[in-house]
Structures are given as structure tokens and as C-alpha cells.
Amino acid sequence: MLMTPGPTAVPESVRDAMSRELINPDVDPRFRETYDRLTERLATVYGVDSGGDADRDVVALGGEGILGLEAAVASLVEPGTEVLCLSNGLYGEGFADFVESYGGEATLVAAEHDEPLPLDALEARLAAADADFDLVTMVHCETPTGTLNDVGSALDRIEDADRELLTVVDAVSSLGGVEVPTDRIDVCLGASQKCFSAPPGLATAAVSDRAWAAMEARDPHSLYANFLPFRDVSDGFPYTHLTTEVVALDAALGLLLDEGLDAVRERHETAAARCRERGAELGLEPVPDPERSSPTVTAFEVPGRAEALQERLREEHDVILATGLGEDAGDVLRIGHMGHNARVERVDETMDALADVL
């Protein structure tokens, strides 16, 4: 039983869709129909399909989630671009590495990994006399600690600073399980293998008109890590698309929308609450404060024991969990209750196994 915070378990009907005969993505018109339906469904999940005045387009690139992070930076950063990277975790810090590798100037405004986003420091940095930022990056759910960040308040501070700042938000492990304020974000990133419960293979984004204009104004550094060739695909895709992944994500989003976004979000809240309740009974503490814990993932503190517990869960119960990442690898055990896995029965089965090995 795959209960990691991505990739998540893929429902049987999605796996069945993947086993159908392959369609040629460049030649067979059925592929375009599938891609168009996928992007329509994705726009609904992103909440950017509101009538004729929608000023955001969604795209699905062939490549796993990190491609979206790199493409956002590669499409918006050129030598000298000033980027404020707001962070309280590994993915937030990683944006600064991407910015530097594309020649931009990254200013990291960071808090400790179990703390909230440093919003006062963000405000001060944006108000500083020498502030000349073009872009702000941040992460909605820091998956390594299971922290859901208050992106709305960060966007308030950015809007109050009244500079023409573009925003890039990594919502890879929240989108589809938690409400994301996509209508205020210029580039909002998602991926197939987290709350959508499709296999890894597609990076998704909702891109604002402002962000498209900024991308058009830059020299592209990359064909592959680039959203622009996907803006208008009426003349075809820039490269052979990942047919099976597109079919899978389309089917997975169909399931999600049949259930309804509100029902899916509620299911995530219920599963997360159950996971933490069962954890508390076992004396396990989540890493962040309860009010910052994400409905999609729980990271329990298990100092020095994460790898041994992971191994015994796998060998004795066939339950696959993740350890921490980076420095905390051995001290944190992570349960992904996201997407298809956000179900009380699946959480209970996982926690029964964890109780046994503990």
C-alpha cells in the first residue's frame, strides 16, 4: 500500500485507462481531444475557468513536477532578474538555486523549517529602499515537513507593497486537495503524482496574462523547460507528448471532478485529522504546529528511527511510507494522505501497521 506524499496510489480505473491502445499524439486527432479535455478539467480544478473573462491558461508539460519549477524560473528569469525567494523549507530554498543557475539574483527570505513563512521580513524586504524585485517565489505545502503555508497572507503583503511583482507558487502537493488562491498567483505549479493520483509524468501550471507577457519579453533559455510553446497548441506540441500520462491525468481528474472539489477537500481534512488523532494515541507529534499542518501530508517526529520504521512497515505490512528529506531524513516519517489515499480506511490501515511496528 503506497502511502507516500507522492507518488500516490493510482486508482484502478486510471490504470485501466493507461492500458488502452496507444494513440499517436502528433497524428491522431483523438489525442488533441484528450489534451483539450484534460486542460478544461485542470482549469476547473485550478479554479481559473470562470466564464469568458478567465485571464489564466493552464498547461500540462511532459515531465514530472520539478520540470514545472525549473520551467517557471527558466521562463521568467534572465541574467540580472531580481527574485525574492520566500521560504521555510527545502522546496522554498530550492527556488533560489534555480534562480541562480539561470543567472538571476536570488534573495532568500527564510524561516526555520518548522516555522511559518517570515511575512514581516518579506514586508520589510519589499519596502527596503533598494528593493527592485521582479518576482517572488514560494511554496504552498512544504511536503518535507507537512507544513501548509499561508500563501494568502503572503500575497496580501506583496499586493500591499504595490510593486509590479510576479508570483510563482509551488502548489504541487496541495492543489487538488486543498483550496489554493490561484486567481492571485501568476504561475501556479502542480504535478500529476500528488493530489491528482495519476502517475508521475506531467507538470501542470496556471499562467496569468501578466506572466505570459513577461515570458514573451524574455529570450527563452530552453525549449524543454519553457511554458511558452504550450500556450497555443493549435498547431501542435513542441515535442511528442507523453500520451499515456495525458490519458491517465485526464481520467484521474475526471474522477476528482465527479466527486466534486468540495467533497474531495473535505475528505482530505477528515483523513488528516484521523492520521493525527491516531498518531497522538501512539505518542507521535507532527513536525509543524497543528494549525499549520497540511491536510495532504503528515510528518511525524521519530528521532533516529525513520529508516528502521520504514523498512519494517514495508517488510512486515507491505505499507510504503517516506522518511524525511535532507538533514531530517532519519528523524521524520511521512504519511501521504493525499489524492486517492485521503481516505480514513487507508489511513487506519496505515496507522494499524505503524502501531504494530512501534
- Contacts with ligand PLP by CB under 6 A lie at 6, 64-66, 91, 139, 141, 143, 170, 172-173, 191, 194, 200
Residue 11 CB, shortest distance to ligand PLP, in Å, is 19
- Residue 313 and residue 2: Cα distance in Å, rounded? 11
Contact predicate 250/60, CB 8 Å? no
Residue 132 CB, shortest distance to ligand PLP, in Å, is 27
DSSP 42-54: HHHHHT---GGG-
Residue 50 CB, shortest distance to ligand PLP, in Å, is 26
Q: Closer CB to ligand PLP, residue 43 or residue 175? A: 175
Residue for cell digits 524586504? 125
Residue 109 CB, shortest distance to ligand PLP, in Å, is 18
Q: Closer CB to ligand PLP, residue 81 or residue 143? A: 143
Residue 179 CB, shortest distance to ligand PLP, in Å, is 17
Enumerate the β-bridge partners of residue 290.
none
Q: Closer CB to ligand PLP, residue 149 or residue 353? A: 149
- The backbone torsions φ and ψ at residue 108, rounded to the nearest 5 degrees and listed phi first, read -90, 120
Q: Closer CB to ligand PLP, residue 306 or residue 338? A: 338
Q: Closer CB to ligand PLP, residue 61 or residue 135? A: 61
Q: Closer CB to ligand PLP, residue 47 or residue 68? A: 68
Cβ neighbour number for residue 10 with a 10 Å cutoff:
23
- 166-194 burial: b if 16+ Cβ within 10 Å, else e: bbbbbbbbbbbbbebebebbbbbbbbbbb
- For residue 318, what is its C-alpha cell? 507491505
Residue 168 CB, shortest distance to ligand PLP, in Å, is 12
Q: Closer CB to ligand PLP, residue 172 or residue 353? A: 172
Residue 172 CB, shortest distance to ligand PLP, in Å, is 4
Residue 68 CB, shortest distance to ligand PLP, in Å, is 8
- Residue 327 and residue 260: Cα distance in Å, rounded? 38
| Alpha-helical regions (H) of the chain | 12-18, 29-46, 65-76, 90-101, 119-127, 151-160, 209-216, 243-259, 261-281, 306-317, 344-357
Instruction: Of 194, 211, 212, give the one whose Cα is nearest residue 203.
Output: 194
Q: Closer CB to ligand PLP, residue 4 or residue 208? A: 4
Contact predicate 190/171, CB 8 Å? yes
Residue nearest to ligand PLP (CB): 65
Instruction: Of 17, 3, 8, 7, give the one whose Cα is nearest residue 249.
Output: 17
